Amino acid sequence: MRIFLNDDMHEVSAGTLAAALENLGYGGRKIATAVNGRFVAAAARPRTELADGDKIEVVAPMQGG
């Protein structure tokens, strides 16, 4: 199925957000996530099933004012 991660399209097999993140290189990283505009806590990622067309946001710490 196709998902959109930070606007980039990826082909992934059906599964959880945690599995998709692991496969896309985010394993062990300090990140926060949202799916379709809704925050998904780290603890909820392993039980968050993705669907075709889901829009995922992955953010990390950044400089800010």
Partner 1 sequence: MSSFYGVELKSRLLLGTSRYPSPAVLERAVKASGAEVVTVSLRRESGAGRAGQAFWSLIQSMGVRVLPNTAGCHSVKEAVTTAHMARELFDTPWIKLEVIGEADTLQPDVFGLVEAARILSEEGFEVFPYTTEDLVVAERLVEAGCRVLMPWGAPIGSARGLNNVYGLRSMRAHFPDIPLVVDAGLGVPSHAAAAMELGYDAVLLNTAVAEAGDPVEMARAFALGVEAGRAAYLARPMEPRDMAVPSTPVIGKAALGD
Q: Which is nearer to partner 1, 36 or 53 (CB)?
A: 36
DSSP H or E segment with residue 18: helix 17-23
Q: What are phi and psi of 59, to 5 degrees?
A: -125, 155
Closest approach of Cβ 45 to partner 1, in Å? 11
Gap between the Cα atoms of 65 and 60, Å rounded: 16
Restricted to residues 1-60, the positions that interact with partner 1 (CB under 8 A) are 6, 8, 24-26, 29-34, 37-39, 41-42, 57-60
Q: What are phi and psi of 4, to 5 degrees?
A: -115, 115
Binding site for partner 1 (CB under 8 A): 6, 8, 24-26, 29-34, 37-39, 41-42, 57-65
